[in-house]
Each structure stands twice: as structure tokens, then as C-alpha cells.
Structure 1
């Protein structure tokens, strides 16, 4: 996927600066900064922490690679004639990760160097393409975006699932965008534009702290909604946990220090539940709690 953001004719911002200004890139960098800090803390069992971080990075990259086509995966890498035949055989993603891990382990990781490495490996388009979403169908993933933050997938004729992929959305806009997306979803179901008897939400964001507010969103004063903890053995749960660790600093810190995986919970809604959806009264409180 090519984007206008990395055009050689860009006059105000360089390709590296565009990455540095991207909220998703900043969150990705934050993970390596946390890793670097933990390794520098006295008493850290470095071997265990290093093994956890290396395993996480490889598994996440494998997951991302599997859901993307080769053309999107490397952002048109082979179009760059400066790279030799032998260089093109190397895995840019592997080189990218090895650089970040090595720099953090040496205590020299910084955002500027990471952005430079991404540009050097021609990964800018691929990274931005994974983070910058437009309303409508993403043919690479099969997700249908309601806005830049929230998407859904038609699992079968009777059920859709809600997804919150990594996004360039600024932190303070993520929760409002999720709520706006749910509002649009409710309207589309009422209008018959989306067919679904069940709407599945599965996320590490459905934590116990937010549960009362989520219930209020859907007018659930009787406790009709069931919040279930997902099994850590399910592939969907594992992929959700890995992405949480990549983009949420608090979850990553707990994982690297103690081996704790983020809890993933699931709730299944009906069109009737969505008919009670009212986000205006709750959005301020939810945004404050989730910040």
C-alpha cells in the first residue's frame, strides 16, 4: 500500500518525521523503551526478560505477516531498485525487530534511530498502511471499518465480531471513536444495512474496571450481559493479548517483569442490546477511566 505521506516530494516533513509523529509508532517505540528500562533496573532477571520480549516480537510479527498479502506486507519493497538481489532476499521485518531489540539491550534505543531504520528498510508504507484505516472494507484483512478506529467482521450470516486493530488514532480519541463506531453500527443494524443476530466484542479493553460503564452504555441495569474471560489457549485470545502487549505499556511491563498476560474478556450483544445504546451520558466517564 502506497501512501501520500512518504512521497519524496514531501516539503514539510521527512518520511522519518512522519513516523515519529504517528501515535501508533510512538506506542510501538514505548514498548521498546519499557523493555530497555526494565533491563537496566537492578535485580532484573535479564535472561528471562530477554526471552519473553524476543518471543513476543517474533510471534506478533508472524501474526501480522500472515494476515497481510505480500504486496501490502512490504509496502512495495521490490519497487525500490536501490536494493540488490541478495538484499531483497532478507526479511525486512526480521531486520527491523533485530535492530530494535539489539538497541534496547545495549541501552541505546531511541525513536529517531528506529524511524531511520524503518525508512532504510522501506517499511514506512507497510507500517502506516497497518495503522491508518479508512471507512469501508479492507480487502487485506476482510475487516469493515466504521471509522479509523473500530471495525467489524461478518463471521457468519448471523454474527459479526467487533475489532479494534492497532491505529494511528491519538490516545484521547480512541474511546470516543469506539463509541461513535458502536453508535453507527447500531444505526446500520436498525436500518437493515448490517445483518446480525449476535454481535461479539472480545478485547483486553473489556476489563472489570470498565464493566459497569459498558453495562450503562447498553442500558443494562439488570445484569443481563455476560462478561466471560476468554481462554488463553484460543488463537484469537492469544493474538489479542500479543497486540495488547505491543501497544499498551502497562500490560507489557507486567508481562516482562512477571510473565502476566493481559486478561481478555468477551461479551455477546443482540440487536436489542444495541437499541439501548446511549453513549452521550457515559462517554466522558469512560474516556477518563480508560485514559
Structure 2
């Protein structure tokens, strides 16, 4: 199979195979990397095989140094949730024996169906997703952050963005303006969050969009669990609606997923929208600060990310005004 990208973190895919063979010393079959997949902004995803088994390798999209392995906690969370049948199994975590000690994690690769929009979900998909969400909400994934109130969730969001800004102050005026506008709206979002009393303190995915769902043999699987937390699972439903660049009136579908009226989900939309903006701003600042591996495959340019942020900021401001 043709390999879409020749070099990742300074290594050819052939060299990555060699490094992984050293790191995964008890392999019974050779590991073969096949193709770099388009995907998220946090990881570079590389499909491969170990014998007859399909695997997915993830390495960071950010450049070194890698002081901590960001995949250690993710491995524990994934292993716990895989035992419940909610996610692909995590097979290995560690560091490559290269100069940067590059972190990696390897999952089983599930070849299933993905949908570009919630409106493309079949009734069976909705039932499968509802089942997965309910099961997740009753579990206690290890080592994930806990937000005991909506305000805790909001404070954590703005703290994260502030840390990235302090470390990598953007020099481009358009990016600085977007960051300033987001931080300016922080007090209004905090005030909104203080008024939310219905907060379940249960497990949620934290970054639930269509790209982080895959359907196979009548089951739904959750992908990319970096944002998994104890908070309120309805955040995930609000995020499904407000995160896309353009969204439609999907309140009925979301109500079916939650088993309640959309009135209980609506107050969480500003929080979900705030997360979508903050998360994207973090990546945008890192991108313009040259902290992103040049072969990262999210496919989003600076201008596209900035356009998305500005569109969502307008929706954010409108939502906080109603």
C-alpha cells in the first residue's frame, strides 16, 4: 500500500517499524505500517498490521520535548473502557528509542463505518450510541479529571487556554484578537455556568463528535479519549450539535440519545461551544508558534482554523446573550 507521508518526527515509516520492534519486544509477528491516516489535531495516526491483526499507531502531532508520556493515562482509560466493550483495545504504550524518546500508543484498528453528520446516523446507530453513552456514564474511568460543577468545567477550560497562551504568545494579530475575544467572554460563561444546578457528576467522553465514533457490527465505539472526564454526559450531546462548522436542528435526535427533552441539554450548549473554541484556539496558537509536526495530517490550515474560531465566537456571544 502506498504510504502517504514519507517522514514522521524525522523517521521514515520503515525506521518507525524498526523502533517499534525494539519497543514491543515480545511481538510474535512483524509489525508493518501501511498508511498515515487523515485525522485529528492531537495525534498522527498510522494504520498498520501485526500478522493478521490491524493496528493503529498514534504519536504526538506536537514537536518535542516530550517531558511526560501523554499516552500513559490514555492507555489506562482505554484499557478500562475496552473491558466494557466501549472502545478499541489499547495494545501497547511506551516511548521510541530515538533521540527525543517519542511517546506512542498502539490500538487495535476497528474497520467500521463513520458518518460526517449526526443526520446520517441510522436508527440502529443512534441506539448503539445511546447504549455506549449510558454504559460510560455508569463507569468511573481511572485517572480522569473530575468536574463537580459546571463552573469547575469552565474554569478548567479557561485555565488550559491561558497556560498555552502564556507559553506560546501568538505574534499574529488575528490570532491574538481571537484569543482576547474568547477570554473577554469568560466572565459571562462563568456566570452562566454558576446558574446550572443540574449537573450529574458522571463520566463523559468530553470530545464527542462524529469523527470520534465508529460503528461496526451493530455496535458503537468511542475513539480519542484524551478529554474523558467526570462531569455531565449531556455535554457530549450539546457538543455533537454545536461543534460542527454548520449544524442543523438536531434537538429531536439528541433528545432520543439522552432519553430526555432537549430542554435539559440546551443550557449546556454554551459550555460545549466554549470547549470547541478553546480547544481549537489551543491548537491554533501551537500551529502558528511552529510547535506542530509539519507532517501532522489534520488537513486544517491556519486560515481554516481561524475562520472556524471566529464563526463559533459569534455563535458563542449570541448564545450567551439569550
Fold similarity call, TM over 0.5: no
Which protein is richer in helix relative to its size?
1
TM-score by length of 2: 0.30
TM-score by length of 1: 0.32
